[in-house]
Structure 1
Amino acid sequence: MEAYASGPAIATRAREVLVREGTESLMPLMVHGDLDRLTAQTVYDAAQQGDAVADEIVRDTGRYLGAGVANLLNIFNPDVVVVAGGVTHAGDRLFVPLRAEVRRRAFAPAVEAARIVAGELPGTAGVVGAVKTFLTS
């Protein structure tokens, strides 16, 4: 999942699309032409402003996550799947294709039994948890 849906992966994919295809996009303007400064947040912001390239990248990310979540549902059949981290900043642009991909790939009973929700803890929660675990062990 990290290779396709993490912040760095989203930014890398955006840079690759912009360089390879040379398509019209707000993203280069948002980083003053320096594509090395492009982040996942830049992609989300551009998608929010109607940038078709950014929107497609966010939706693709949702589909990639959806494929992974479908596998988790098929194997573990959890009641809840929490999607956390910066990727949740994309909101429905990410979650609509994610849920559609889950419905397409997962067994219907698993889909019906599970809720897919955005995590509510701040982006630093993973680091805080790791430090706490280290300090208490």
Structure 2
Amino acid sequence: MEILKNKILKPFVNISIASFLLVSCNFGNSQIEIVTSDEMEYLILADSVQLIDVRSFEDFQNKHIKGAQSIVFDSDFEENIQLLDKTKPVAVYCRTGRRSKECSQILKDQGFTKIYELKGGLEKWEYQDLLIESNTDVEN
């Protein structure tokens, strides 16, 4: 009976361990994770991401999340992201989430290991205390 258990149980245990390792490891593949405002706020406050705003530079100057850098989604985007560290997580946002989705895919294709994308963009951002806004509405 003991021999029969070993013949049946041992392969099952080995397959289970191998399956766990396959699921746990990403084999260097990039991952894109859609995050809420709450999750993005945590990532920013923990200073654990390279935060990039992919809107126009004018939009960035008018309003952006504190700590963000502007990398405009244009024809130079792929060249400009080479200034980022591919081994560190990157968090991307735009106004609505459409551009950041496209940019996240480019980051993934370029070998960035972990990409966070703000769900709904700045339109869904909930933390006004983390926004930097210019006073463009002030009249002279």
Same fold (TM > 0.5): no
- TM-score normalised according to structure 2 size: 0.31
Structure 1 or 2: more strand by fraction: 2
- TM-score normalised according to structure 1 size: 0.31
Q: Taking CA–CA contacts closer than 8 Å with sequence separation of 6 or more, which of the two structures ends up with the larger relative contact order?
A: 2
Structure 1 or 2: more helix by fraction: 1
